[in-house]
Amino acid sequence: MKKFLILTSAFVALVSCKKEKELSANTTWEFEKVIPLDGVNPIGIAVDGSDIFLSDGDNNRVVKVDVTGNILFEYDGFERPMHIDFGEAAMQITDKVTTSMLKERALFVPEYGRDSIAVIRDNKRDYLVFKDSLDAPAAISVFKNEIAIADFYNHRILYYNGNSWLTIGKEGKEHGMFYYPTDVQITSDGIYVADAYNNRGQVFDKNGAFKAVFGEGEKMNAATGIYVGAGQIYLTDFENKRVLVFSKDYKLKQELKTEVSKPTDVIVVGDKLLITDYGTGALVQYEATLVDR
Partner 1 sequence: MKNIAIIMTVVISLFAFAKADAQKSNLDQFEVQVDGLGCPFCAYGLEKKFKEFKGIKDVKIDIKTGDFSFKYPSDKALSMQAVQDQVVKAGYTPNVSKITRANGKIETSQGKKEEKLGALTSAKLKVYGACGMCKARIEKAMNDMAGVDNAVWDVDSKMLSISYDKSKVSMNAINKQAAAVGHDTDAVKADKSTYNNLPGCCKYRD
If one asks whether residue 112 binds partner 1 (CB under 8 A), the answer comes out as: yes
Report the nearest approach of partner 1 to the CB of residue 231 (Å): 29
Q: What is the per-residue binding string for partner 1 in 64-93, x denoting contact by CB under 8 A?
A: ----------------x-x-----------
If one asks whether residue 116 binds partner 1 (CB under 8 A), the answer comes out as: no
Report the nearest approach of partner 1 to the CB of residue 278 (Å): 6
**21 secondary structure, DSSP code:** P
* Range 176-215, binding partner 1 (CB under 8 A): 180, 182, 196
If one asks whether residue 62 binds partner 1 (CB under 8 A), the answer comes out as: no
Report the nearest approach of partner 1 to the CB of residue 113 (Å): 5
Please enumerate in sequence order all residues whose Cβ is within 8 A of that of 120, keeping only pairs 6 or more positions apart, or say none. 62, 75, 106, 107, 108, 109
Give the angle subtended at the CA of 216 by the CAs of 147 and 249, to the nearest 5°. 65
Radius of gyration for the alpha carbons in the chain, expressed in angstroms and rounded: 20
Q: What is the per-residue binding string for partner 1 in 217-256, x denoting contact by CB under 8 A?
A: ----xx-x-------------xxx----------------
Q: How many CB atoms lie within 10 A of CB 59?
A: 16
Let me know: does 167 contact 161? Beta carbons within 8 Å: no
The residue within the footprint of partner 1, chosen from 102, 109, 138, 168 (CB under 8 A), is 138
Q: What is the per-residue binding string for partner 1 in 13-52, x denoting contact by CB under 8 A?
A: ----------------------------x-x---------
If one asks whether residue 155 binds partner 1 (CB under 8 A), the answer comes out as: no
The residue within the footprint of partner 1, chosen from 29, 34, 40, 57 (CB under 8 A), is 57
| 15-39 residues labelled b (16+ CB within 10 A) or e (exposed) | eeeeeeeebbbebebeebebbebee
Long-range contacts (CB closer than 8 Å, 24 or more residues apart) made by 254-258: 254/28, 254/29, 256/29, 256/31, 256/286, 258/31, 258/284
Give the angle subtended at the CA of 201 by the CAs of 195 and 205, to the nearest 5°. 100
Closest CA to 236 of 171, 178, 164, 284: 284
The residue within the footprint of partner 1, chosen from 37, 93, 136, 283 (CB under 8 A), is 136
Q: How many CB atoms lie within 10 A of CB 157?
A: 25
**Which is nearer to partner 1, 82 or 158 (by Cβ)?**
82
Residues of this chain that bind partner 1 (CB under 8 A): 41, 43, 57-58, 80, 82, 112-113, 136, 138, 152-153, 180, 182, 196, 221-222, 224, 238-240, 262, 264, 278
